[in-house]
Structure 1
Amino acid sequence: MSMSRQTSRRRFLQGVAAAGTATMLYPAANRAFGAESPNERPVFATIGLRNQGWTITSKSFRFADFAALADVDSNVLGANVEKTKKQQGKAPDAYKDYRKVLDRKDIDAVMIATPDHWHTKIAVEAMYAGKDVYCEKPLTLTIAEGKLLEKVVKETGRVFQVGTMQRSECDERFLQAIALVKQGRIGTVKKVTCGINGMVASPVIPVVPVPEELDYEFWLGPAPKVDYRALPELREGYGGGVPLYSNCHYSFRNWHEYSGGKLTDWGAHHVDIATWALGADDTGPSKVTPLDYTLPVEYKNGFPVVDDQYNVATQFNIQVAMPNDVEMIITSEGDNGILFEGTAGRFFVNRGKIVGKPVEDLESNPLPEGAIEEVYGGKVSANHTANFIEGMKARKQPISDVWSHNRMLEICHLSNIAMRLDRELNWDPTKREIIGDAEANSFLSREYRKGYEINM
């Protein structure tokens, strides 16, 4: 830990001791946040800039000034520095090492959009450095990381938003869906199906030289040391011209070493809305059963036996026993979206539509005034960053907080563990551990590679 971060944490702990249970704020958090005038705008930095990193940065220029950007790929870093300069009229400072961002006293908050295996380490160190945090979904690589983040948020008093923008930015379809459920428009909920799409397996991906612009050692970070693999075919469009098949950049989602496949990618969106509607934000399932699934490579004792192909599930049907006898199905089949079924009706919602008789009935029997605002906990924000800054200003957690996100994501992590071990898992949502299965519980955490442990 750097001397400046040690000092920040020491002062925080001394402040807590002096203030008792009062929330201790760092000087940076005491500014008047908002977008009314330039000197009232918070100062941000983004760590991890490919694809979603630029997306969340570009959506935030109207609310914040970006003083720094960090990325381990010099091409990505340079391109985004230039784009940021054009947007705000001033170039941000550029760093390969995110720790230089955390050492700066002028930065109020960091936006983290690295691959998933880096999220927790950077977020924890950022909070101890006095920064509020916006971190992309899925927040964690393991369930243990989620518990750690909850502990540090509580200990430091930092504001922390998870980038599940579906809670704020996909118009009001999902909030309307939750309101329909909570207002009893489908009676007692019996079943909810989350369609999150499957994926295709990869061919064998050979070892090739690391691109000159990429610090692959630092990209791996806490993950195991492995060779860089890629095929020469390029992904057009969203992939930004990187290899279509690789164990790096956009394809990181397809490897358990760095992410959790579709279960934690799209699952982090639709399972989130489902658990929110069910009122299960502070609890969890009792059982997770892999009904049928396809892993693209052979597994032994929960680990892939080869390292030259994608290893996350390509197809799946997972049954989850939720509170109040609600059955949740997470599936790669059918339309992407969420189907709610109850004793008095059913409806379907996704980012393009909300359909079904309970929705049609709204024409003659609309939701009560304020029903959607009640779901959201206040005025609905049309921008996820705006909701984050509102939380920073009020020193309260935003709509997508670590606690609700972790409870939802535990379902997705458990689904992956169940498939890797090929068995049903019984879950204790109070202790947050798998019941009677030591091997399965060993998958709730992972060892960080030496030299990349979390600095606390």
Structure 2
Amino acid sequence: MSTSRKTTRRQILQGMAAVGAASILPSASNRAAGFESANGRPVFATIGLRNQGWTITQKSFRFADFAALADVDANVLGDNVEKVKMAQGKAPDAYKDYRKILDRKDIDAVMIATPDHWHTKIAIEAMYAGKDVYCEKPLTLTIDEGKQIEKVVKETGRVFQVGTMQRSESEQRFLQAVALVNNGRVGTVKKVTCGINGMVASPKIPVAPVPDGLDWDLWLGPAPKVDYRALPELREGYGGGVPLYSNCHYSFRNWHEYSGGKLTDWGAHHVDIACWALGASDTGPSKIAPLDYSLPVAYKDGHPTVADQYNAATKFNIRVDMPNDVEMIITSEGDNGILFEGTKGRFFVNRGKIVGRPVEDLVQHPLPEGAVEAVYGGPVSENHTANFIEGMKSRKQPISDVWTHNRMLEICHLSNIAMRLGRELNWDPDKREIIGDEQANSFLSRESRKGFEIQT
């Protein structure tokens, strides 16, 4: 990626006043109905379009107009331009280089759904360019990236929504779960178990030709320069049309170079709800202990020793010591979802059900009126994008803000570090560092590849 188009931080901040002023508009009578711009709607752009990128774009047509899309895969970009054109009657502009979107003054906000290793760079540069940001989970690749993002949100005053959509889930099971805990329906919480599934190991994945239309160097971006790898067998269903085994599309979650396996995938959802219910969204654990786990390849000093197989943990049971003597278990075993256990009972919640005696008791002993709204901080938004736009209008942070997200994501990142090093970690939630373990602390950050540093 050439840096010849680099904009200085001074130039960006000078342009922010006009952009920011244009974003602070009077509230509409209908919540999230849109800005009072030329056509009454905010202007969005999406960066990263495969799978979840299209999902969040599609869910946002009701509230916003999409002026531009960006993706490093020309095939994905072209397909999505056509889908957006069909949905809104006008084709968005298409770019391989996301920075061309950030240069545009007509775009109010960006939605980011790239692989995880790109999130922080794009999000920070977008905020300095005067854009509000919706970024998919997990927000960061490392713990220190979360601190960087928090600093820039505070400095720029941009509104930032993280895509942990369970907080705005339409069926409101997770909001009800938090309300049950908050209203003492399980008594004092003693244990919470987050079932987040495991993953399968891969066979050896050979070096392969880069697919036509994919800019592999730009896909890697801040990550180390490596060969593209893939097996010819194609994936079916969600994520279909791409190799079943690769180090790129869809499978990137199984590589620590780009993501954090199931811990930062499903973990970013269920650990989030658990921390919310426990009231631990502004603090953190004291200890993370990997009880048992399986890594698919050999590791040395916390780093995989081979480059041709998935390297994120396949199975795991991790104990996390949370405030108030609550034990959290993060496991690849059992049903996907969250089990809350307290002195008065227990219940289980996931995307398909909420079950247990405290739930059954609601027939005779319902929650107080407004209990769910109290959890959400007001009337529950129609969906996660609606909540984001409400925040853009009010200039208040949405329901999935960066601070609470990073606090719970630290648990997921620390769990991965503990497994990679094969030992328990003691965590200082105030200093946000690992206690007495210099080697482990070295995993809190990661250096970007030369030429792909964050431009400030």
Quickly name the TM-score band, shorter chain normalised: over 0.9
State the 1:439 CA deviation.
0.1
Is 2:53 aligned against 1:53?
yes
Tell me the secondary structure at the aligned position of residue 257 of structure 2.
Answer: coil
Aligned residues: CA RMSD = 1.4
1:322-351 alpha-carbon deviations (Å, 9 max, x no partner): 000000000000000000000110000001
1: CA distance between counterparts of 2:6 and 2:120?
21
Letter of the structure 2 residue corresponding to residue 409 of structure 1: L
In structure 1, list runs of 5 or more residues that go unmatched. 16-23
* Alignment of 1:28 onto 2:26: no
Which residue identity lines up with residue 47 of structure 2 in the other structure?
I
Q: Shift of the alpha carbon at 1:27?
A: 3.5
CA contact (8 A) 2:15 2:129 kept: no
Show the counterpart of 1:162: 162
Map 1:195-210 onto structure 2 (within 5 A).
Answer: 195-210=195-210
Q: Report deviation, 1:125.
A: 0.1
Can you list the C-alpha shifts for 1:64-91, whole angstroms capped at 9, x where unaligned?
A: 0000000000000000000000000000
Residue by residue over 1:191-212, the C-alpha shift from the partner in whole angstroms, topping out at 9 and shown as x without a partner, is: 0000000010000000011012
The question of 1:424 aligning with 2:427 is answered: no
Q: 1:324 to 1:12 in 2, by over 3 A?
A: farther
Give, in whole Å, the separation in 2 of the partners of 1:125 and 1:49: 19
Query: What is the correspondence of 1:190-229 to structure 2 with a 5 Å cutoff?
Result: 190-229=190-229
Which SS does the other structure have where 1:26 is aligned?
helix
Preserved contact between residue 280 and residue 323 of structure 2 (Cα < 8 Å): yes
State the Cα distance separating 1:12 from its structure 2 match. Answer: 6.5
**Structure 2 Cα separation of the partners of residues 3 and 294 of structure 1:** 43
**Separation (CA, whole Å) in 2 of partners of 1:179 and 1:322:** 19
Is the 1:25–1:157 Cα contact (8 Å) retained in structure 2? Answer: no
The 1:3/1:304 distance shift into structure 2, 3 A limit, reads closer
Distance 1:403 1:95 in 2: 31
Matched position secondary structure for 1:419: helix
**For 1:102-141, what per-residue CA distance to the aligned partner results, in whole angstroms no more than 9, with x for missing partners?**
0000000000000000000000000000000000000000
Give the Cα separation in 1 of the matches to 2:15 and 2:405: 26
Q: Which residue of 2 aligns with 1:20?
A: none
SS at match of 1:176: helix
Shifted more, 419-428 versus 34-43: the winner is 34-43
Instruction: Report the identity percentage.
Output: 81
Aligned mates of 1:332, 1:113 — CA distance in 2: 25
Rounded to whole Å, the distance in 1 between the matches of 2:347 and 2:365 is: 16
Question: In the alignment, is the contact (CA less than 8 A) between 2:24 and 2:395 conserved in 1?
Answer: no
| Code of the aligned partner of 1:446 | R
Number of matched pairs: 447
Scaled by the length of structure 1, the TM-score of the pair is 0.96
Q: How does 1:108-127 map to 2 (within 5 A)?
A: 108-127=108-127
What residue number does 1:287 align with?
287
Q: What residue identity is the alignment partner of 2:223?
A: A
Q: Report if the CA contact (8 A) 1:253-1:259 is conserved.
A: yes
What is the match of residue 237 of structure 1? 237
Alignment-mate amino acid for residue 434 of structure 1: I
**Structure 2 equivalent of residue 19 of structure 1:** none
Q: How far apart are 1:245 and its partner, in Å?
A: 0.2
Q: Compute the displacement of 1:55 (Å).
A: 0.1
CA distance in 1 between counterparts of 2:132 and 2:10 reads 17
Matches within 5 A, 1:16-415: 26-31=20-25, 34-35=32-33, 39-415=39-415
Deviations 1:128-163 (A, max 9, x none): 000000000000000000000000000000000000
2:14 to 11, 14, 18: 11
Per-residue CA deviations over 1:193-240 (Å, capped at 9, x if unaligned) read 000000100000000110121000000000000000000000012113
Q: C-alpha distance in 2, partners of 1:332/1:170?
A: 26
In 1: Cα distance, 2:284 partner to 2:207 partner: 41
Deviation sequence 1:22-79 (CA, Å, 0-9, x none): xx97243134574367622000000000000000000000100000000000000000
What code does the residue aligned with 2:66 have?
F
Q: Measured at CA, do residues 310 and 105 of structure 1 come closer, stay the same or move farther in structure 2, by a change above 3 Å?
A: same
- Other-structure match for 1:18: none
1:261 corresponds to which letter in structure 2?
G
Say if 1:12 and 1:156, in contact at 8 Å, map to a contact too. no
Q: Is the 8 A contact 1:46 1:111 kept in 2?
A: yes
Amino acid at match of 1:9: I
Rounded to whole Å, the distance in 1 between the matches of 2:119 and 2:449 is: 15
Report the TM-score when normalising by structure 2: 0.96
